Amino acid sequence: MDTSTVEYSLGLVRIVAYGRPHTFGELNRGWKDADSFDEVVPILHYLNLKNMAAPQVHKFNAKVGTYADFPARFSVGGCEVLTGTQLDAVVLQKGQAAGILTRDCPTIVFYNGKTGEVVIAHAGRDSVLDRKGIAADGQTRQYESVVFSVLAFTGWNPKDISILVCIGIGAEHFSHPFDYPLFESLNKKMIGWILQNYGSECVAGEPEEGKIDLFALIKNQCIKAGIPSGHIQHDGVDTYTDPRFWSTRNKTKNNGLNLIVVINK
C-alpha cells in the first residue's frame, strides 16, 4: 500500500516522503527496538526494502557516517533496519537506503552522478549552523555545517554532485526575532553571522525579524563548497503551511513526525 505524501527522483535516487496522517511517534529519538518500527512495516514492504539505516538526528551534530557505523540491527518485516547511532548524514552505496525523521527540518539529498553514491542529510538549523559556536564567538565542532561535513567525508568532486533539498519550513514562518526573551543576543549574533557569511538572501524581510531561509542558506553553503548553482534544486514544500506534513512551529499540527526515505537504486 502506497501511503506516501510526495515522491521524487534525483538521477537514480528514489526519495519518498511520508507525513500526515502517519505519526511515527514511537520512533522519536528512538529506533530502539523492532517494536518501534511497527508503523513503518507497511512502508518497508511497499518500498521493497531489504535494508534501511535509521540514524538518530536529534543532536544536530553535523556528523556523517556509513552503514558500518550502526551498531544495532533489527529484522523488521523482512528488512534489516540499522540504528543505534547519532548522525546527521549517511552515505549510501548501491542497494542501500536510509530514513530520517523530521518535522520542520529540511532533508538534503546529495547524488554523485560519477560514482553513483548518495548521501541523505538532516539539515535542521543547528545542523547547518554551529549555533553554540556563534554564541561563544568561536567554533564548537570541526565543520560548521553538515554540507561541509559531507564534502569533507566523501572527498567528492563538487562538480559531480547534484542536490535536492526537500520538505522543510519556509522562511516566513521560521523567525528568530531580536526581541525574543532569553535569545535576543544569540538571535542577533546568528542573523549577523548568516548575513556576513552567506548573504542577505538567506534572511527574509528585515534582519531584526530573524526569518531564516534555510534553503537559501543551504544553497549558498553548497555553492561556497564548489557545487554549481544549477545542480541545486528545492521542492518548495513549506511544512508550516502544507497540510500534508507535520510542523513543530505550527501548533495546530505538531504531534507527529515526517519520514523521508532515500533509496540508492
Q: What is the pLDDT of residue 30?
A: 58
Lowest-confidence pick of 36-45, 50-59, 104-113, 244-253:
36-45
Q: What is the pLDDT of residue 76?
A: 86
How many residues does this entry show for the chain?
A: 265
C-beta of residue 90 within 8 angstroms of C-beta of residue 25: no
- Residue 27's pLDDT band (cuts 50, 70, 90): low
Domains of the chain (ranges plus CATH)?
Answer: 6-174+213-264 (3.60.140.10)
Is residue 3 packed enough to be buried (19+ CB in 10 Å), middle (13-18) or exposed (0-12)? exposed
CA 52 → CA 46, 73, 91, 139, distances in Å? 13, 10, 12, 33
pTM (two decimals):
0.95
Mean pLDDT taken over the chain: 94
Nearest to 221 by CA among 143, 168, 166, 156: 143
pLDDT in tens, 168-210: 999 999 999 999 998 999 999 999 999 999 999 999 999 999 9
Residue 7 burial (CB count, 10 A): 11
- Residue 1's pLDDT band (cuts 50, 70, 90): very low
